[in-house]
């Protein structure tokens, strides 16, 4: 999911109820992301108190966990669609427990 790094205009990312157990620390460095919704996911590596404090707290937590050379890997498909993806401002992938097709999550 580190592909969102190549979405510089992204302001909202909704990932509600997707059985996610972790988030990529690279998200913490996104410059315009001001709403990150992750409710209903078993995020075992992130304390509930951090999530409940909201987006700013969650992004700071992720940024603090970032490891250069390990957490900055971006999915190959995103690299080929960087120009197209740069215009998206919102991604909503709530309740999407079926097969993941990242090319279809942008709205």
Please check whether residue 105 lies inside any domain of the structure.
Answer: no
Structural domain that includes position 9? 2-98
For 57-86, how does the pLDDT look when each residue is reduced to its tens digit (9 = 90+)? 999 999 998 877 666 665 554 555 555 555
Please check whether residue 107 lies inside any domain of the structure.
Answer: no
For 25-36, how does the pLDDT look when each residue is reduced to its tens digit (9 = 90+)? 888 888 899 999
- The total domain count for the chain is 1
Residue 96: pLDDT over 50: yes
Please check whether residue 90 lies inside any domain of the structure.
Answer: yes
Take residue 29 and report the two structure tokens written for it. Answer: 């460095």
Please check whether residue 106 lies inside any domain of the structure.
Answer: no
Give all strands of the β-sheet with 90-92 in edge-to-edge order: 35-37, 12-14, 90-92
Please check whether residue 103 lies inside any domain of the structure.
Answer: no
Q: How confident is the model at residue 91 (pLDDT cuts 50, 70, 90)?
A: low
Please check whether residue 104 lies inside any domain of the structure.
Answer: no
Helix (H, G, I), strand (E, B) or coil at 25: helix
């Amino acid at each position: 999911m580190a592909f969102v790094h190549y979405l510089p205009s992204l302001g909202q990312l909704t990932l509600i109820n997707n059985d996610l157990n972790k988030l990529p620390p690279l998200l913490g460095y996104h410059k315009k992301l001001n709403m990150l919704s992750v409710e209903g996911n078993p995020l075992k590596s992130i304390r509930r108190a951090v999530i409940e404090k909201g987006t700013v707290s969650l992004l700071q937590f992720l940024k603090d966990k970032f490891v250069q050379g390990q957490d900055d890997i971006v999915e190959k498909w995103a690299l080929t669609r960087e120009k197209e993806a740069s215009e998206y401002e919102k991604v909503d992938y709530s309740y999407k427990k079926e097969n993941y097709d990242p090319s279809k999550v942008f709205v």
